[in-house]
Structure 1
Amino acid sequence: MFVGLNTETVMGPIRRVVATAQNGLEVVRLGGLETDLTTSPFEVVERAPMYRLRRYFPDTDPAEAGPPIVLVPPMMMSADVYDVTRDQGAVGILRSMGIDPWVVDFGSPDSEEGGWDRNLADHIVAISEIIDQVRSHTGRDVYLSGYSQGGMFAYQAAAYRRSRNIAGLVTFGSPVDTLAGLPFGIPAGFATDAAGFLADHVFNRLAVSGWMARTGFQLLDPVKTLKSRLDFLRQLHDREALLPREQQRRFLATEGWVAWSGPAVAELLKQFIVHNRMMTGGFVIKDQVVSLAELTCPVLAFVGEVDDIGQPLAVRGIRRAAPRANVYESTLRAGHFGLVVGSAAATHTWPTTGKWVLWNEGLGPRPTNIELMRYDEHFGSESGVSISDRIIHTVASVAEVGVGVGKGISDFASGALRGTVELSGEATRALPRLARLGQIQPHTQISLSRLLAEQRRKAPGGECFLFDNRVHTYEAVNQRIDNVVRGLIQAGVRPAAHVGVVMQTRPSALAAIVALSRLGAVAVLLPPGREVHTALRIDGVERIVTDPENLDAAIATGMQVLVLGGGAQRDLDVDPSANVVDLEKIDPGAVTLPGWYRPDPGLARELAFIICSESNGHWETKQITNYRWALSAFGTASAADLDRGDTVYCLAPLHHSSSLLAAIGGAVAGGSRIALSRGLDPERFAEEVHRYGVTVVSYTWTMMREILDAENLALDGSHPVRLFIGSGMPQGLWRRTTERFAPAKVLEFYASTEGDVVLANVAGAKVGAKGRPLPGSAEVRLAAYDPIAGRLLEDEQGFIRECEDDEVGLLLGRAGVHAEMSGGAMRGIFAAGDAWIPTENLFRRDADGDYWLVDHRKTVIATPRGAVFTQPIVDALGSVDRVDLAVAYGVAVGGRTLAVAAFTLRDGRPPRLAEISDALDALAPALRPDIIQVVEDIPLGSSYRPNADALSAAGLPKPGTRVWYADPESHQYRRLTKAVAAEFQDGSAGVPAGAR
């Protein structure tokens, strides 16, 4: 029965079993199979607590070594990733091409002194030092390269150095726009929340060991991991088949992983997952604010078509994040690890890297497999790896392993569920804020200082504000505020005292304002450089806090002057007889706090700030209670959807209500970073927007005009700004701003001086509209109003008539408990016993319920034909492309008042008269201006509000080619001649013939 059975048939399976057993025993004993493959020689040329710097092939003459390239490993991976084998490793291939390879070895935190305390900035600063060292050794600028997180380090270090001594950057699967392509198709909202929780509550206590890093990496692609292990077991009998890949297998399975320090992981999650600041800019390295937008050196990024960790969309984010750099890409069909180790890396990645370096050095042609990087717009549901690539790659792996369900299917399912997993982030943030606002009663303790102290308790090391490229943490800011409080107490300031603040925008100004709030005093904010003596006396101010720049003006008031800012070493050089106290010279530790002092005593009903501004040549004061401030703060945070990922840029000065209530208030309520600017300067604006990662810009009136008018404004579509918030932006400027900064929007606010009315155009779709009442603010209604007589109009029952849609009326806000306590309420307006606070402004309400500002009660032009409102005229003229600024005002001439409009030109060329007429045709004839003129300049107030006082005082415009009047017969505009001007003077022009 054994006839025909040959020896090979019997012995083959036996030899296979024996070989499997022998190889398996070797793996168990030694951790893998012994190979004859060797690694490349290296010498450690520099040692530091953070790193060891390896120079490979150290016997090479430095003069002949070629361009130096520094290779940076990821934080969780051994530096040997660049030299798994000499023949196929990075350093060996690069050396063979005439390039000088250097490798950074961070070691493992669990075996390095102080390793568990390392943070992200330590790694960046170390790489920066290494660049200096390599340049010192070689005398040449350095190519900086990194794999995965090592590439992120390379980007960050280059930005930190602003590309100094860096010849180029090469990265492999290194994400920049981390939220554009997350592993497993994880929704961005879920990822940021989870990363924030892990950073704040897990990795501040826990580090990641080497085995945890290895396991986590393998779990990111479980199908591939399982396939690799089954392949190894199936071929365990065939030593020759296993040996070529054994070094790679051992590296990936056991030897290549090192621990992560907890602080470094926490900082990585916060800055680059939660806030995505590689993309937006504004990440922090050793208290310095850094942005990839400052990169100017060339970049080559390798993109894995099936890389589900460094997904293509995330990697290609560098194209938008670094607009000043020439960015190239090279794509290959590889996963994350295959980009740097294995056959694809040996035949594509490393030869291409070498050729690109040589091309940049002028030593060879441009590689054929690179191209300028593209960055395609994408939908939020896209993952970055194409569906077809993922399905083909995953199904092939699944089929080989023999399982029926794989990661690709889970990705598909996660994409379908993304919409249901990502609940509205805006709603989850807004509801608690609005609920808290609704709980505030007159006796509730609430203030700017209290809210800032709350943020410190939540995140002491969190970033509070940025100024002059430095970051100030909540802990440091609160310590400074407490020190200023002690200085103020030493100088005699007590709760409820009115203290003037006359300071430029600077950290000390913010500290002074908050310190007065913490003390329970009232900060009276005045614009620097103005005559403020009268305003100070009116508001009962007895002392002034100022900075050295405004010291002389403050001394001139004769009041006690408290000087803050500029450091303790400066010399004030003032007359000894002047009543000046230098707060910087007071030792906080030597001040004994009095028994009455309680920090943050401010109640909602109490006065917090008085804001003084100049309007139409007159001083106006706005009294802001703590509740009114909180209303604006929580309302802005909700309407603008501010959170810890935002950086709010205070383009407006601190003494302006837009900054204090909306920008500062909203940022503090939302936990966002505040970026303070030294002033309106287009070049500084462009630089700081990128460097700080500004997402929200606060403005007043025409501020953005100077930015948009600047030549060569260094901003493009890669800017991080998503929103402009403020009040008073003209419609024409609004359109220019949204066009220039697309897709950013404008969030226009209106906040009444009286009562608790806050309107906001949250959607931004109706350019020029003030929007609708913010939740938590007062209910509003429009009361019928006679602007000429200055009185409300009653109905037949004696109540005030409420306006119909598009009827102009006086805006009233319902008097809540807070507004009633401040006085000024009118009762019995629309119903018996009701109470309303009148504002000073006239509005109309459209059919959708949106409110449009029409005029201030005091600036309505009373013409013989009736009231003419200024704002509709300004809006109509602002819709003409060549019109820059516009104003409307009254001029008394010929025994009556004329409505006159004036505008300036954007490019010096006036629009055609037909364009102006078409724009004004949107108004009823009785509401159009009598005269229109082009002027050279329209003065701006301290808040950049156009001021018509000088034009009105100049009287009737002089006849000319750029002055037109409205013909009362044809309702057409015609050129104003001397003859017609004379008729205006005697009162006959502008009146229909039948009425003369």
Structure 2
Amino acid sequence: MLNLSVLLEDTVREDPDRTALVFGDLRLSYAFVDTIASQVANLLAARGIGRGDKVALACPNLPYFPFVYFGILKAGATVVPLNVLLMGREIAYHLDDSGAKALFCFEGTPELPLGERGRAGFAEAAAAEHFIVLPATPLATESELGETLWAAIDGMPGTFETVQAAPDDTAVILYTSGTTGRPKGAELSHANMVMNAMVTDEMHPRRDRDVYLAALPLFHSFGQTVVMNAGFRRRATLVLTPRFEPVEALRLMGREEVTLFAGVPTMYWAMLSAVNAGTAQPPSSLTTALSGGSALPVEVLKGFSAAFGVDILEGYGLSETSPVASFNQLGRPAKPGSIGTPVWGVEMRLVDPGWNTVGTAGEVGEIAVRGHNIMKGYHNRPEATAEVVRDGWFRTGDLARRDEDGYYFIVDRAKDMIIRGGFNVYPREIEEVLMTHPAVSLAAVVGVAHESHGEEIKAYVIRQPGAALTEDELVGWCREAMAAFKYPRIVEFRDTLPMTATGKILKRELR
């Protein structure tokens, strides 16, 4: 038997007084987190919710998140984490699609009225029976939105006999972003999630006191596994920040002596920009920097290493792979621009559209992954599962090449590839070149419809502060730097680019 909550419970047995969470001036021990999680489990059991039931959680990076997450797991139920930017009707869809019986929802703030949206979604959903408010005011027992967590767990015992789950029971349902069609729920088992946390934890050197900055949203697979679950296994201290802001993040890292930071490329770009602008200092305590979520521009990697004195280790994975599939690993040289090699117990290969293995080094194919990290399937979608899983192999939709040493290099998302006049053009390659221009800070390249070529190449660019570069000048520079079928004919300067809650650039909004 195996329950993902073992990551918390083992640490509590070994080191109950160690600080688990830091939030503002609040410092909470592992024993405290376990006590509240046990009260949540008792609450669910009292409401008739247990093994096999689904419970949704909509909450930013606050102490509530691990309290409720591990409480749901202890009760034997399945956690359905929800993106905090979802609107009411989208929350209703996720509740209905997962069959969630309860929703724990943060009350929200004027900037993020999550509680109102959650209440509206709950009212619209067919099956959900219980709505529990996670109040914005600490320990508040009343909310105009409904029953609060503190009122609900009042009098509940602080211990709980954790439900013994089978390794293949579903621990978490993570919803994919739904770029094509409606979001699908990837069912991840207790074995998937425990193994991924263990393998992730073993990849990085331990210190007497590890401190992680939890800036990645915990509702997302990257933050959940690499920061919270692997961090709890390691007995690390998690410094929670509900919203990533580069100057504040660097200040926190300095104050709390953060040793490990995991982020997406836009976070590294923002922190590097802040340091280069003189508005923040690199923290001296940082020893491990991990990147994933999308391809990291090599120029950002080089700049960060020079400014912070720490090399960023890049990895790769998806919600469907729990998420970590490959990484630049200790004991092997890291290669800039590479997502490394498959992690322990995981295989990767490159395939063509007919699932045939692509053979030669340097040839581009779609990444397929097999191992302990592959999801059980998409919740209630056998046809969608069959499209992407065959003989245990999951095809990712990401195009890559592999070098002679077995390192993988992401070329692009298959769906982001531009076909211009019959030529395949990979936006990532153009973005990398654009970012070598001294006046370019960040770039995103997309294909836009064109009458004769099918698609034309367009670059959205954020300039370096004070740069006077014009669109025509940049197009002219690109013409000299790239093949005729590759260079962007259209350039649009922006001050910001649209991003998801996890910091990925939203290319579908730029097309």
Larger gyration radius, structure 1 or structure 2: 1
Change (3 A) 1:894 1:612: same
Q: Is the 8 A contact 1:905 1:934 kept in 2?
A: yes
Distance 1:781 1:944 in 2: 28
Shift of 1:927: 4.5
Cα shift at 1:812: 1.2
Aligned to 2:259: 695
**1:681 paired to 2:250:** no
Contact 2:58 2:82 in 1 (8 A): yes
Alignment of 1:726 onto 2:282:
no
Answer yes or no: is 1:900 the counterpart of 2:458.
yes
- 1:749-898 equivalences under 5 Å are 749-755=315-321, 758-762=325-329, 765-776=334-345, 778-783=346-351, 785=352, 791-792=353-354, 800-814=356-370, 824=385, 835-895=392-452, 896-898=454-456
Q: Is the 8 A contact 1:555 1:561 kept in 2?
A: yes
1:529 aligned to 2:91?
A: no
Distance 2:85 2:387 in 1: 38
Q: Map 1:323-722 to 2 at 5 A.
A: 444-447=1-4, 449-531=5-87, 532-549=91-108, 550-557=114-121, 558=123, 559=128, 560-565=130-135, 566-574=137-145, 580-587=146-153, 589=155, 598-612=161-175, 614=177, 616=179, 620=183, 621-710=185-274, 712-716=278-282, 719-722=284-287
Q: Quick one: distance in 2 between partners of 1:771 and 1:632?
A: 16
CA pair 673-618 structure 1, distance change in 2 beyond 3 A: farther
**What's the CA shift for 1:502?**
0.9
In 1, Cα distance between the equivalents of 2:142 and 2:223? Answer: 31
Q: CA deviation at 1:926?
A: 4.3
Aligned-partner Cα distance in 1 for 2:201–2:192: 14
In the TM superposition, residue 869 of structure 1 has moved relative to its aligned partner by 1.8
The 3-state SS of whatever aligns with 1:721 is coil
Equivalent residue, structure 1, for 2:499? 940
Alignment of 1:201-240 (within 5 A): none
Does the 8 Å contact 1:876/1:920 carry over to 2?
A: no
User: CA contact under 8 A between 2:291 and 2:314: conserved in structure 1?
Assistant: yes
SS in 2 for 1:604: coil
- Cα 1:936–1:818 change in 2 (3 A) is closer
Name the structure 1 match of 2:111. Answer: none
Give the drift of 1:928. Answer: 4.3
| C-alpha contact 1:527 1:613 (8 A) present in aligned 2 | no
SS state of the match for residue 147, structure 2?
A: strand
Question: What letter matches 1:726 in structure 2?
Answer: S
Q: Are the structure 2 counterparts of residues 885 and 628 from structure 1 closer, same or farther at C-alpha, using a change threshold of 3 Å? A: farther
Q: TM-score, normalised by structure 1?
A: 0.45
**SS of alignment partner, residue 792 of structure 1:** coil
Deviations 1:453-512 (A, max 9, x none): 001111122222222133221212111111121222233422222211111211112211
8 A Cα contact 2:191 2:372, kept in partner: no
Greater per-residue strand proportion: 2
CA shift for structure 1 position 904: 1.6
Q: Greater shift after overlay, 918-927 or 729-738?
A: 918-927
- In terms of fraction of residues, the more helix-rich structure is 1
Question: Which has the higher relative contact order, 1 or 2, with Cα contacts under 8 A spaced 6 or more apart?
Answer: 2
Q: CA deviation at 1:696?
A: 0.6
**Cα distance, 1:648–1:815 mapped onto 2, change above 3 Å:** closer
How far apart are the structure 2 equivalents of 1:922 and 1:666?
Answer: 43
3-state SS of 2:86 partner: coil
Q: What letter matches 2:281 in structure 1? A: L
Aligned to 1:149: none
Q: What secondary structure does 1:556 align onto?
A: helix
User: Structure 1, residues 825-873: CA drift from partner, whole Å, max 9, x if none?
Assistant: 79999xxxx6532222111112332111112222222333232222222
Tell me, which stretches of 5 or more residues in structure 2 are unaligned? 109-113
- Is the CA contact (8 Å cut-off) linking 2:301 and 2:311 kept in structure 1? no
Q: Distance in 2 between matches of 1:459 and 1:920?
A: 60
Q: Does the CA-based 8 Å contact 1:754-1:838 persist in structure 2?
A: no
The CA distance in 2 between the partners of 1:604 and 1:637, in whole Å, is 20
Note the 1:123-138 alignment, pairs <5 A.
Answer: none
Q: Distance in 2 between matches of 1:819 and 1:657?
A: 12
C-alpha displacement at 1:751, in angstroms?
1.1
Amino acid at match of 1:901: A
In 2, distance between residues paired with 1:544 and 1:827?
30
State the Cα deviation string for residues 98-142 of structure 1 (Å, max 9, x = none): xxxxxxxxxxxxxxxxxxxxxxxxxxxxxxxxxxxxxxxxxxxxx
Identity, % of aligned pairs? 20
Q: 1:741 aligns with which of 285, 301, 308?
A: 308
Moved more, 514-523 or 615-624: 615-624
- What's the secondary structure of 2:191's corresponding residue? helix
Specify the code of the residue in structure 2 equivalent to 1:905.
R
- 8 A Cα contact 1:623 1:753, kept in partner: no
1:827 touches 1:835 (CA, 8 Å); kept in 2? no
Offset of 1:612 from its aligned partner?
Answer: 3.2
- RMSD of the TM alignment (CA)? 3.2
TM-score, normalised with respect to structure 2 = 0.84
Q: Which whole-Å CA distance do the structure 2 matches of 1:915 and 1:847 have between them?
A: 35
In structure 1, what residue type is equivalent to 2:499?
A: L
Q: Deviations over 1:934-991 (max 9, x none)?
A: 3443211221111233332xxxxxxxxxxxxxxxxxxxxxxxxxxxxxxxxxxxxxxx
- Aligned partner letter, 1:573: E
- CA deviations 1:61-115 (Å, max 9, x no partner) are xxxxxxxxxxxxxxxxxxxxxxxxxxxxxxxxxxxxxxxxxxxxxxxxxxxxxxx
Q: Secondary structure at the match of 2:228?
A: helix
Q: How many residues align?
A: 481
C-alpha distance in 2 between matches for 1:916 and 1:638: 46
